[in-house]
Structure 1
Amino acid sequence: MEDGGGPLRLATRGSRQALAQATAVATAIERASSRPVEMVLVETTGDVRQDVALHTIGGQGVFVKEVQRAVLDGRADLAVHSAKDLPSEPAEGLRIAAFTERRSPADVLVGSTLDELAEGATVASGSVRRRAQLAVARPDLRFVELRGNIDTRLSRIPESGAIVMALAALEILEMTDRAAERLDVDRFVPAVGQGCVAVECRVDDVATAGAVATVDHAATRRAVEIERAFLAELGGGCTMPVGGHVHDDELHVFLADPAQGRAEGDVVALGEGGSHDDDLARGREAARAVRSRLA
C-alpha cells in the first residue's frame, strides 16, 4: 500500500507453522511501525501436491510462487516465507525487505537419536540434503519419503526409526519437547536460510518497505545473504543435496552427489578485514570449490 497508514495485507501459506511465523512477523511490524496487519491466506503447489517428492515438482519455489503472486497481483502487500524455501534468485518485481532474527538453524531427529537407531533403521525425510548427510554418518540407514504439515509428519515416525525436521519449526509451535536429538550444525550443515523468516514486498512500494524494515535483523541478513550467494553460484535449490550456514564468522558448506555416493564440505573464514561484498564473493568461491571437487 502506498498511503503509509492503512492496514498491511500479509500473504502467507495456511499451515499451522506458516501461520505462526506470519503472526509473529505481523505482531512485530505492528509494534514497531504502528501499522495494522491483515492476513491473506494462499494455497501453494507444495501444499496441494503432498503425494510427490519436493525435488520432482520444482524444489524450493513450490512453497513461495503463489504467495509471491498475491503481492505482484495487488491482493497483498507482503509475502512471508521460511527463508530456506526462497529460490536463490530474486523474484522479478519483488525485494526482500526483511530477514527476521534467526531461530535455531539446526535439524533434529524425532523418534530416536542417531546413535540409538538400530542397524538398517528407517529414517523418513523429504529433504535430499538431510538424507545425504545422514547417509554419510550412517551408511546403513534406510530412507523413505516424508511430506505433509508438522502434525502429519510427527504422526508418521517409522517404527523403531526417526524423522528429520527443522528445530525452528518445533520452536515456533512450542513443540521442542518432541526432539530426540539436535544435530550439530557443523556436521549436518543446515539448508541455506534455515531458521529465518523472509518478508518480501514490491520493489516500488516504499511505504511498505519502510514499515517492514523495522523487523529486519542486520546480523541475520548478513549471514543469509552470504549463504544465498553460495547457493546462487551453484544454481540449484532443494533439488540438490546442498547446505550452507554462517556462524562464528565462518561459512560452513555441504554438497553431495548421490549418484556417485560422494559428498564434499568446506569451512570458509569471513569478515577478516573485508567488506560484506568480499564475504559474498567468498560464498560464491566456496560453491565453485566444492562443485569442482565433485566433478
Structure 2
Amino acid sequence: MKKTIRIGTRDSELAMWQANTVKQALEKLGYQTELVPVKSQGDLVLDKPLYEFGITGIFTKTLDVAMLTNTIDIAVHSMKDVPTALPKGIVEAAVLKRAHTQDILVHKGTDFLNTEGIIATGSLRRKAQWLHKYPNHEVVDLRGNVNTRMQKLEDNEWNGAIFAAAGLERINLKPESYSDLKWMIPAPAQGAMLVVAKEEDEFCRKALSALNHEESEICVHIEREFLRTLEGGCTAPIGALAVIEGDNIHFKGALFSLDGSKKIGTEKTIPVTENEGFGKACAEEVLAAGGAELMKEIKKLINTKG
C-alpha cells in the first residue's frame, strides 16, 4: 500500500468537502492519499447558462483530462454532474452512500408564492418544474458554486433560489428560511457522490470498491439509465428518483418542456431483483407518450439559443 492515491477535485468548498470525505475513508482503510484541486471551465465561466457550452460534463471534463494525463489517480464528483457516458479509459469505481435527494427553496418569506415572484436557478430542470407549478413567476439564471449562489441571493431582490439540500447540508450552509420542495423531482443521481478511476488502475479500483454502497448504486444507475435513454445530459429538464423500499424499487421520472407548460411523466414500482433495464423501460414509456417529440423541440430551442 505504498502508492499515494492522488485525489482530483474541483476547488469549491463543496467539492473539497466531498474529496476530503473520500480521503478520510481511504486513509481509514490504510491507504496514503493526497488532494489535487483543479479548476474547471464550468467554475471559471459564470455568465453563461451551462447548456450554452454545448457539452455535458462541463464540471467533470477538466478532471477527466487530468486523470488521463496522469496528473491525478482518481476523481470525486457530484454524480448528477457526471455525463452518463464516461470517457474511454475511465470507469465508475465507487458510489458512496447517498445523502438527501431533495431540492429546497431558500427564500426571504413565502408570501409571494400565490402572487408574482422571482426565483433564481441555473438548472433547466428546476426552472421548468417551478414554472409548471407557478406559471406566473419569473425565473432568472443563477450560476456559481453554492457559496457564490447564496451570496447572489442575498445581494439581489429575488424572492428565493433553489438548491440541492445535500450540498447545503454538507458544508453547513442550510439557512433557517427554507422550504422543502417535496413535489419537485430531483436530478438523476442528486445527493450521490461518484469516484472514478482509470480502467487499467487495479490498485485504485480495488481500494475504492470498499467504499461502494450497493443500494445507492442501484438507484442512481436506474435514474441515469432513464436520463441516457431520453438523451438528456445537462441539456433537458429531466427529473428522476429511484428509492428502495423493502424488497421493491419505487421510481418517479418526468420530462418537461423548457417553459414548464408540458410534463410527461411515469411512476412505477418493481421488485429490486428486476432492476436490470428498469430505467430504460421507464424512459421508453415517456418517449412513446410524446417525449420523443418534446425532446426534439427542446434540442431545437437550445440550439437556437446557443
TM-score for both structures, normalised by structure 1: 0.92
Partner of 1:189: 185
Aligned-pair distance for 1:215? 1.0
- Inter-CA distance 161–259: structure 2 relative to 1 (3 Å threshold): closer
Q: Which moved more, 1:111-120 or 1:164-173?
A: 111-120
- Inter-CA distance 16–67: structure 2 relative to 1 (3 Å threshold): same
Distance 1:59 1:145 in 2: 18
Alignment of 1:1-295 (within 5 A): 4-31=1-28, 33-58=29-54, 60-112=56-108, 116-117=112-113, 119-157=115-153, 158-159=156-157, 161-178=159-176, 180-184=178-182, 187-247=183-243, 248=245, 249-258=249-258, 261-271=261-271, 274-277=273-276, 281-294=277-290, 295=293
Structure 1 runs of 4+ off > 6 angstroms?
none
Aligned-pair distance for 1:89? 1.2
Match for 2:226: what amino acid? F
TM-score for both structures, normalised by structure 2: 0.88
Gapped regions of structure 1 (runs ≥ 5): none
Task: Tell me the percent identity.
Answer: 31
Distance 1:62 1:119 in 2: 36
Gapped regions of structure 2 (runs ≥ 5): 294-306
Match for 1:162: what amino acid? G
Q: Which moved more, 1:121-130 or 1:171-180?
A: 171-180
Q: Deviations over 1:144-170 (max 9, x none)?
A: 000012221112224251000100111
- Inter-CA distance 53–216: structure 2 relative to 1 (3 Å threshold): same
> What SS class does the counterpart of residue 268 from structure 2 fall into?
strand
Distance 1:267 1:115 in 2: 32
Distance 1:22 1:260 in 2: 35
Match for 1:139: what amino acid? P
Distance 1:252 1:36 in 2: 41
Q: Deviations over 1:53-80 (max 9, x none)?
A: 0111135410001111111111111011
- Inter-CA distance 125–200: structure 2 relative to 1 (3 Å threshold): same
Distance 1:59 1:165 in 2: 22
Aligned-pair distance for 1:114? 5.8
Aligned residue pair count: 285
CA contact (8 A) 2:107 2:177 kept: yes
CA contact (8 A) 2:131 2:261 kept: no
Distance 2:142 2:175 in 1: 21
Aligned-pair distance for 1:181? 0.7
